[in-house]
């Protein structure tokens, strides 16, 4: 026995390689016995017998008589096919509690697989088994979870981020306002609570002027949604007047600045900044992004896309009841986010401000 194979412990199970199969074919054509081939390849003789059966084919000789031969390529193809099609045990096993938890949060709470796994880890929930996000997506693809498919997921394909470059376009109708370029670092780097981004989500074109006015806080991702019969300058001013009455002296702490696009409904920025309770007082600071640069208000744009999950484009917003709008806002503010460490916006607002009145 060779020194390399002189061991007392049992060797682990190992498949024949493609190279070994071609060696077997050569030895078999040289009229060696299966036992001799097994010794030369350092395999059990039963392995060689099974392999000869796997790669056995029927050939016709010169005398037109049939005979059996071994072909390595036939055996390798058979092996590869069985390896691909063999059933693997599921990591989730028979853990019904984990399956129910996942199905409940995807179907009823409309959570993404990433958020579900992140919540489990953050809260320290214990199940019999555990899977990662990639495995969960794979299981949904394969239909492992009854009643859950890719149709229940918000986004499936990976989206490639576009490379944006700053656009130095000044809106000709809004020359006197403060540009986003003048925003201090404390706002740009999200170092302080109370800085918002705003926009209007509009409904079916040429139908009516009903729209949703949305505000998104840059640090906590807290969301405010107000249904407007008409998205006008006067309508936007009334929203802030009501918010000022609601929050009172806390308005300035909650709304330190707001960044808009150059939509016509936001052009009366002076009335938005001016306090309705004291005409000589300034209640907030308004900044404007560059024209055609929606990514400069990326947080608000992403939240508007979340709203479109519930109210698709082309929907007549006048038919959407206020109760549904409030449910959407509540869902968004209680939806865990990866960027927040899988905490909800409401949880982060309470951590930073300690004021429940700031919850939307």
Mean pLDDT of 264-278: 92
Cβ(203)–Cβ(210) below 8 Å: yes
Of 85, 5, 90, the closest CA to residue 44 belongs to: 5
Report pLDDT digits (tens) over 344-355.
999 999 999 988
Report pLDDT digits (tens) over 273-290.
999 888 889 999 999 999
Domain locations along the chain: 3-85, 96-152, 178-358
Q: Which two tokens stand for residue 125?
A: 């929930």
At 94 the pLDDT is: 80
Report pLDDT digits (tens) over 85-131.
665 677 787 888 999 999 999 999 999 999 999 999 999 999 998 99
At 87 the pLDDT is: 57
Which range among 141-150, 208-217, 225-234, 332-341 shows the weakest confidence by mean pLDDT? Answer: 141-150
Q: At what angle do helices 322-333 and 345-353 cross, to 10 degrees?
A: 70
Question: Is pLDDT at 258 greater than 90 in this prediction?
Answer: yes
Selected from 1.20.58, 1.10.10, 1.20.950, 2.30.29, the CATH number assigned to the domain covering 3-85 reads 1.10.10
Between CA 228 and CA 210 the distance in angstroms is: 6
Sheet harboring 285-288: ordered strands across?
178-179, 285-288, 257-260, 195-202, 211-217, 223-228
Question: Is pLDDT at 208 greater than 90 in this prediction?
Answer: no
**Could you give the C-alpha distances from 194 to 115, 164, 186, 217, 345, in angstroms and in order?**
26, 26, 11, 7, 13
DSSP run (H or E) holding 97 = helix 96-107
Cβ(200)–Cβ(228) below 8 Å: yes
Report pLDDT digits (tens) over 49-83.
999 999 998 888 777 788 888 999 999 998 888 87
Question: Is pLDDT at 243 greater than 90 in this prediction?
Answer: yes
Question: Is pLDDT at 160 greater than 70 in this prediction?
Answer: no
Report pLDDT digits (tens) over 5-30.
555 555 566 889 999 999 999 999 99
Report pLDDT digits (tens) over 290-308.
988 899 999 999 999 999 9
Between CA 49 and CA 51 the distance in angstroms is: 5
Mapped onto helix, strand or coil, the DSSP state of residue 165 is coil
At 3 the pLDDT is: 52
Beta-carbon contacts of 77 under 8 Å, excluding residues fewer than 6 positions away, are: none
Selected from 3.30.1330.10, 3.40.640.10, 3.90.79.10, 3.30.420.10, the CATH number assigned to the domain covering 178-358 reads 3.30.420.10
Question: Is pLDDT at 164 greater than 80 in this prediction?
Answer: no
């Amino acid at each position: 026995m060779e020194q390399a194979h002189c061991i007392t412990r049992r060797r682990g199970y190992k498949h024949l390689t493609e190279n070994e199969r071609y060696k077997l074919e050569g030895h078999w054509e040289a009229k060696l016995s299966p036992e001799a081939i097994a010794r030369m390849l350092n395999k059990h003789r039963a392995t060689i017998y099974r392999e000869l059966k796997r790669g056995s084919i029927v050939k016709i000789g010169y005398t037109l008589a049939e005979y059996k031969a071994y072909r390595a390529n036939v055996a390798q193809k058979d092996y590869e096919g069985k390896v691909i099609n063999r059933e693997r045990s599921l990591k989730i096993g028979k853990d019904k509690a984990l399956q129910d938890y996942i199905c409940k949060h995807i179907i009823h709470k409309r959570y993404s697989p990433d958020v579900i796994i992140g919540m489990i880890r953050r809260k320290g929930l214990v199940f019999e088994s555990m899977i990662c996000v990639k495995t969960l997506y794979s299981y949904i693809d394969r239909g492992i979870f009854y009643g859950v498919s890719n149709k229940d997921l918000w986004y499936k394909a990976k989206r490639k981020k576009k490379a944006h470059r700053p656009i130095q376009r000044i809106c000709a109708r809004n020359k006197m306002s403060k540009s986003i370029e003048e925003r201090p670092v404390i706002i740009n780097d999200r170092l302080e609570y109370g800085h918002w981004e705003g926009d209007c989500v509009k409904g079916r074109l040429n139908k009516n002027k009903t729209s949703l006015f949305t505000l998104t806080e840059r640090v906590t991702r807290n969301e405010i949604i107000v249904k407007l019969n008409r998205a006008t300058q006067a309508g936007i001013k009334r929203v802030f007047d009501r918010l000022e009455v609601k929050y009172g002296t806390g308005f300035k702490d909650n709304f330190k600045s707001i960044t808009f696009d150059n939509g016509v409904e936001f052009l009366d920025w002076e009335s938005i900044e001016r306090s309705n309770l004291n005409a000589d007082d300034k209640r907030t600071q308004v900044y404007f992004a560059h024209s055609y640069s929606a990514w400069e208000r990326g947080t608000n744009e992403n939240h508007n896309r979340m709203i479109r999950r519930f109210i698709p484009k082309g929907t007549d917003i006048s038919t959407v009841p206020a109760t549904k709008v409030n449910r959407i806002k509540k869902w968004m503010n209680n939806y865990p986010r990866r960027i927040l460490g899988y905490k909800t916006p409401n949880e982060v607002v309470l951590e930073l401000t300690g004021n429940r009145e700031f919850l939307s």
